[in-house]
Amino acid sequence: TEKELRQAQKMEAIGTLAAGIAHDFNNILTSILGFTDMVLHKVPEGGVGRSEMQQVFISAQRAADLVRQILSFSRHSEQERKPVHLAGVIEEAFRLLRSSLPTSIAMVQEIDVPSDADKVLADPTQLHQVLMNLGTNAAHAMLPEGGTLTVSLRTVPAASPQLAPYPFLDRVDHLQLCVRDTGRGMESRILERIFDPYFTTKPAGEGTGLGLAVVQGIVKNHGGVIAVHSEPGAGTCFEVLLPAVSLEIQREEELPEQLLLGSE
Ligand code: ADP
């Protein structure tokens, strides 16, 4: 559609821009973060200029985060794909989120996939970013009251009705990753725009509006689809479907060479 085309062009433009400036920008930010951190260690709690320096640090961190998000638009070519245990990536992101979120947010992990059937062909760093972006959004939607963040993983077999809406997808087994929250949810006029680059409802300086655009880009690049269900006041559920690395292919790769020759 025309909207998708416009969106793709926007992403392309961001990518080109990013490749040019991100590297230098990163160096500058690293030095700002390093020096402010040094000052923060020297000035005692309540000391002159400490709270201002803390603000500098927080802003620089936000800028670094923005650069990281923008960079992922321009990484299409250099990404590295290998079979990745999705459960492992979830585990790691889960731990990171747990350590950074307040205790008013309960976290539940539901892995319902055999340990040899959770592989996807992917760039693990990008999958990690998908989980972190969805997870932090979910947490944000539940604050300050708190709530429950559920991350789940299950198998969706080829030809199952759930894959029917997507042409070609129903030919292979998929893995379904869900990030669900009990937060404020979204009205349809917001839902329509959440994947647009730079769309945010967060106050100026807090949101980049790039998180979900990046998530969608990564999922599409990996041959997957993303869907969202949301109910205002009740919560939101993001569903990511990714093609699984089939068990047959895994077995073939594991076969010793003699065996393969012997079976000719
Ligand atoms: P940002 O988080 O910087 O605003 P995103 O692209 O990640 O950018 O999200 C865009 C918007 O989508 C958010 O500002 C918010 O309004 C909405 N949103 C995303 N995830 C959720 C969620 N789990 N619950 C409610 N609203 C959400």
Q: Which atom of ligand 1 is nearest to the CA of 206?
A: 3
pLDDT score of 94: 92
Whether residue 181 has its Cβ less than 6 Å from ligand 1: yes
* Inter-CA distances, 161 with 107, 166, 225, Å: 30, 10, 15
pLDDT reported for residue 254:
58
Q: Please report the pLDDT score of residue 226 as a whole number.
A: 96
Cα of 151 from ligand 1 centre, angstroms = 17
> For position 119, what pLDDT does the model report?
95
Cα(160) to ligand 1 centroid in Å equals 30
What token pair was written down for 146? 């708190």
Cβ 57 under 6 angstroms from ligand 1? no
**Which segments of the chain have a pLDDT < 70?**
17-20, 23, 72-79, 247-264
What does the pLDDT read at residue 146? 96
How confident is the model at residue 253, as a pLDDT? 59
137 lines ligand 1 (CB under 6 A): yes
58 HSE (CA, 13 A, CB side): 8
Rounded to 5°, angle at Cα 166 from 160 and 167: 100
Residue whose CB lies within 8 A of the most ligand 1 atoms, among 69, 70, 130, 137, for a mutation test: 137
Q: How far is the CA of 133 from the centre of ligand 1 (A)?
A: 9
Predicted confidence at residue 202, as pLDDT, reads 92
Q: What is the pLDDT of residue 231?
A: 97
> Across the strands, what pairs with 150?
108, 180
Residue 252 CA, ligand 1 centroid: distance in Å: 42
Does ligand 1 lie within 6 Å of residue 191's CB atom? no
pLDDT for residue 154 = 97
Global pTM reads 0.78
